[in-house]
Structure 1
């Protein structure tokens, strides 16, 4: 292990406690991160457009999520000097690659929801 907790054999090891890849993975796979990346995969959006698209996210949480994704190089923030000011968010090339893979998982979960719902009913019935 290196001093940052990453495995020397691998450049980064998300299973290592202190490896920075774990934090980046959390930004991508957390509820708001994954939904934000998915929404931005569809189009460049302004903050309020994005907030409407990611139904249920608070202004504060969306702001924090966008900052984290921007810091990780997945989202680009472009402020235009207009009156009123306009800020657009879009995926970077890296962000698009990550969002494409993430959307495959999201689509799989959506497709398999009938099976998931049935498993939940069986589980809840066995508990009751």
Structure 2
């Protein structure tokens, strides 16, 4: 991991290159920011889910916040909302192929989180 960071730092030689490297990071953080989006995507990684299933899987999220976050994820093409013609209407949410490209990022965050927990609280 340190080797990758050193390579990334070594490549940037000017303020323009620094700005160019930071813009995609800023964009990614803007799309994934907040407490809930990654948790929602992780819950959808096992397959399509209905609203209440996601609500139960993501402990602590309110229905209002879940609705907002799902809309944001849909706008950013990370989630697809499918409405089935039933009575009452059935709605399912599915992670897109684009969202699956985050798998490596999520794994890296999990690994770093485990290291951070050990550093901070020794667990």
Structure 1 gaps, min length 5: 1-6, 16-20, 120-128
CA RMSD of aligned residues (A): 2.8
For residues 12-91 of structure 1, the aligned pairs below 5 Å read 13-14=23-24, 22=27, 24-91=28-95
Change (3 A) 1:102 1:47: farther
What SS does the corresponding residue of 1:79 show, helix, strand or coil? strand
* Displacement after TM superposition at 1:106 (Å): 4.2
8 Å CA contact retained: 1:74, 1:95: yes
Moved over 4 A (4+): 7-12
Change (3 A) 1:11 1:80: farther
Change (3 A) 1:79 1:11: farther
Counting matched residue pairs gives: 106
Deviations 1:92-112 (A, max 9, x none): 1101112x1243034314533
State whether structure 2 residue 110 is matched by structure 1 residue 107: yes
Question: More helix by proportion, 1 or 2?
Answer: 2
* Displacement after TM superposition at 1:43 (Å): 1.8
Deviations 1:77-96 (A, max 9, x none): 00001012110001111011
